[in-house]
Amino acid sequence: MRKISIVSQVGFVLLYIACVSMATILAGCSKEVEVTTCDGTGRAMVAKNATGQALADGLMDQWKRDHPDRDWVTGEKERHELKPPADNSALLEGGQAQGHTYGQHDKRDLLVWARETEKFALEGSRIFHSSELLGSTVAVSCDMCHPHAANTHPETYPKFQTQLGRVVLLRDMINWCIEQPVRGKRLEPDDPAMRALEAYIMAQRSGTVMNYGKH
Amino acid sequence: MKKLKSIETRYMEDRSRFFHDLKNLDRRSFLKVSAAAMGAAVASGVIPSGSFQSVSVAQGNAASGGSAAFRFAYISDSHLYEKKINDRFVRSLLRAVEDVNNLDPQPDFVFYGGDLAQLGQPRELELGAQILKNVKAPMKMMVGEHDWYFDLGQKWRQMFGEPTYSWDHKGIHMVTLNSVVERDFWTARGLTPMQRMMTVAGLDNGVQSPFSVGEEQRQWLRKDLAAYADETPLIVFSHSPLYKLYKKWNFWTDDADEVQAILKRFKQVVVIHGHTHQLLTNRIGNIHFHGMLSTAWPWPYAPEGMPELTIEMNRPDPFNPNDGCGDGQVHVHADGLVDKVYNLWNRGPITVSKAYTASWGRQSVPPMPNRASY
């Protein structure tokens, strides 16, 4: 009997604490507001009287924790040097008619183009340097023979690849490497990974004269 | 009817057969296994059978004439993964071991030029040591960055001893350095040992720091050399070239100038280095530099800053996984200068002779390539 009464007393205490907590929450509800991040992935309840900055900081911290790879572009660029895309600043120097595609752009536009193009090539760099992303079964990645995409000479394609007995494009040679030394599965020509790899390899040969058919 | 098998099937069959044999490898069965591996490679068309010829490395005197005081062989940059992950690099190291064991007469010793492992894993180093145990001549080991940056040399030291040492051999003073000392880039970034290793393992990874010998070893070197007269011929081994060639790929030693200053008073110094996986020749004053070939893969040449004395090897053919790879020998003359033999597996051996570097490239010019490298 005595034992049971102790258990029930403990149960009562626990129930009491839970009720008090509930009450606190209910009371707080009127003073709090739910805030979500603009991409809809972050959500937080904050006091209505919190300052905007504190609110934003809190949400940002949470979003950063949830997205450890958020800054992959900066990271990839730091790890693997990429040649910068062409300088288009001349477009800002007037002389073009209104309505022309390249007639009405400002600095910000140029920045967006450069960033987006660079990001495309950097995605290729990420794949180029990762045996996992390449799907290698023997832990081999492109950079093991082609640091900074050296010796890939994309400017020489199309050319008659003597070892294959036919005319090939850069993507055919990428697939040859993926199947042979890398021992992975070939990519479709429009596979995002193939497009990114082509972008990276060509970006790294920026400034080289096109010279198709060269051996 | 003959059953047709895909390339993948044949490859996997070869691979499992090869590892079945490798499992209980000892010196006696070694030749049998490596011959089988070679046979399988030839059968599958990976190696043209003609390349067996190059196993008999150029014998006798090299282009410079005169007899060498002695000869040693080298194997370098095998970049082994665990055997269950990748057997190609394992086969290549076996082939190199077979090459040096077939030398007749045997070399005085076989020098290993570093990067035995790919990711510094204990199992990779153990596999390498297991294979190198079959070398008949005495082995001398040097460390490379791929051996070091997983556990900062703990396993390597345990297996092979201190990475910095010297010895005398037939009147030549020999020094082995650890030239791949990097500044701590990992602590501030909070990298795990594996992340640190992966960073260093990427040749074009810009997060790592440049290689150096470091003040501690330079002190050691000064002390070690103090007892030797300026006339003593010196051979120094370093994994990275002991000069500044191309920083972005660490074809570079950051304190090369300081190290060269220590070596300056000696009449003849030869530096033999790994890391660059290619024919590479340089001379700075009294110091003659020679690169070593890799057994795993060839690197492209640096896009800028190539030493004038280097005659670049032909662009390797990717369709032959052994092209541009190999091992070699060093014929050491009594005066301490060397003929450096590059035993390219898919091509004839190329000798960069003592006369070539001594004459600043005017005499005994090695064969020029007939293809430009990109």
Q: Name the token pair of B57.
A: 């490395």
Suggest the residue from A76, A140, A178, A179 to mutate for an interface test with chain B (most B CBs closer than 10 A): A140
Distance from CA of B207 to the nearest CA of A (A): 5
Q: Cα(first)–Cα(last) distance of chain A, in Å?
A: 96
Cβ partners under 8 Å of residue B68, min gap 6: B61, B62, B331, B332, B333, B338, B339
pLDDT for B60 beyond 50: no
Alpha-carbon distance B21 to A131, whole Å? 28
Of B204, B317, B321, the CB nearest to A143: B204
Coil, helix or strand at residue B20 = helix
- Residues of A whose CB is below 8 A from B203: 143-144, 147
Are A47 and A32 spatial neighbours (Cβ–Cβ below 8 Å)?
yes
Rounded CA gap, A31 and A98, in Å?
53
- Contact map slice: A 140-159 vs B, CB within 8 A: 140, 143-148, 150-151, 153
Residue A72: how many CB atoms within 10 A of its CB? 14
Q: What is the mean pLDDT of chain B?
A: 88
Minimal C-alpha gap between A16 and chain B (Å) = 45
- Residue B327's φ and ψ, nearest 5 degrees, are -140, -155
For chain A, which ranges sit under pLDDT 50?
1-29
Sign of CA dihedral A30, A31, A36, A38: positive
End-to-end CA, chain B: 46
CA distance A176 to A172: 6
Looking at residue B374, what is its pLDDT?
56
Helix (H, G, I), strand (E, B) or coil at B173: strand
| pLDDT above 60: residue B32 | no
Banded model confidence at residue B4, pLDDT cuts 50, 70, 90: low
Q: What is the pLDDT of residue A36?
A: 78
Distance, CA of B74 to CA of B122 (rounded, Å): 23
Residue B246 makes CB contacts below 8 A (sequence gap 6+) with: B252, B302, B303, B304, B305
From residue B327, alpha-carbon distances to B10, B122, B324 in Å are 28, 24, 10
Between B336 and B3, whose confidence is greater? B336
Judged against a pLDDT cut of 70, whether residue B19 lies above it is answered with no
pLDDT band at B269 (very low <50, low <70, confident <90, very high): very high
Is B298's pLDDT higher than 50? yes
Q: Is the pLDDT of residue B148 over 60?
A: yes
pLDDT at B64 over 80: no
Chain A contact for B85 (CB, 8 A cutoff): yes
For residues A86 and A204, give the distance between their C-alpha atoms in angstroms, rounded to a whole number.
12
Q: Rounded to a whole number, what is the distance in Å from the CA of A170 to chain B's nearest CA? A: 14
Model pTM greater than 0.95?
A: no
Q: Cis omega (within 30 of 0) on the bond before A158?
A: yes
What's the rounded Cα separation, in Å, for the pair B279 and B313? 6
Calpha distance B286→B262 (Å, rounded): 12
Which tokens belong to A58? 């809190």
CB atoms within 10 A of CB B25: 17
The per-residue pLDDT for range A155-184, each reduced to its tens digit, is 999 999 999 999 999 999 999 999 999 999
C-alpha–C-alpha distance, residues A36 and A41, integer Å: 7
Chain A residues 120-139 with CB within 8 Å of chain B: 129, 138-139
Cβ atoms of A11 and A24 within 8 Å: the answer is: no
What is d(CA B253, CA B238) in angstroms, rounded to the nearest whole number? 10
Select from B204, B207, B321 the Cβ nearest to the Cβ of A148: B204
Residue A212 identity: Y
In the structure encoding, which two tokens stand for residue B6, read together? Answer: 């895909």
**Stretch B337-344: mean pLDDT, rounded?**
97
Chain A residues touching residue B318 (CB < 8 angstroms): 145, 176-177, 180-181
Residue B209 CA to residue A94 CA, distance in Å, equals 45
B237 shares contact with chain A (CB less than 8 Å): no
Residues of B in contact with A79 (CB under 8 A): 199, 202, 205-207
Per-residue CA distances from B87 to B16, B41, B42, B240 (Å): 10, 12, 15, 26
Surface of A (50-79) touching B: CB under 8 A: 78-79
In what order do the strands lie in the sheet containing B70-75?
Answer: B139-141, B110-112, B70-75, B326-332, B338-344, B350-352
Q: What is the pLDDT of residues B43-59, one digit of tens each?
A: 444 443 333 333 323 33
* Chain A / chain B CB contacts < 8 angstroms: 63
pLDDT score of A208: 95
Q: Please identify which residue in the block is written with the tokens 């290689």.
A: B211
Residue B233 burial (C-beta neighbours within 10 Å; 0-12, 13-18, 19+):
buried
pLDDT reported for residue A69: 84
Which H/E stretch holds residue B215? Answer: helix B214-226
What DSSP letter does each residue of chain A carry, written as one string?
Answer: -HHHHHHHHHHHHHHHHHHHHHHHHHHHHTTEEEEE-TTS--EEEEETTS-HHHHHHHHHHHHHHH-TTTTHHHHHHHHS--PPPPP-GGGGSS-S-TTSTTTS--HHHHHHHHHHHHHHHHHHHHHHT-HHHHT-SSS--GGGT-GGGTT--GGG-SEEETTTTEEE-HHHHHHHHHHTTS--PPPPTT-HHHHHHHHHHHHHTTTPPP-TT--
Check residue A30 and give its pLDDT: 55
Q: Is the ipTM of this complex over 0.90?
A: no
Average pLDDT in the B140-148 region?
A: 98
Share of chain B above pLDDT 90, in %: 78
Distance of CA B214 to the CA centre of its chain: 22
Has residue B315 got a pLDDT over 90? no
Q: How confident is the model at residue B228 (pLDDT cuts 50, 70, 90)?
A: very high
Amino acid identity for residue B213 in this structure: V
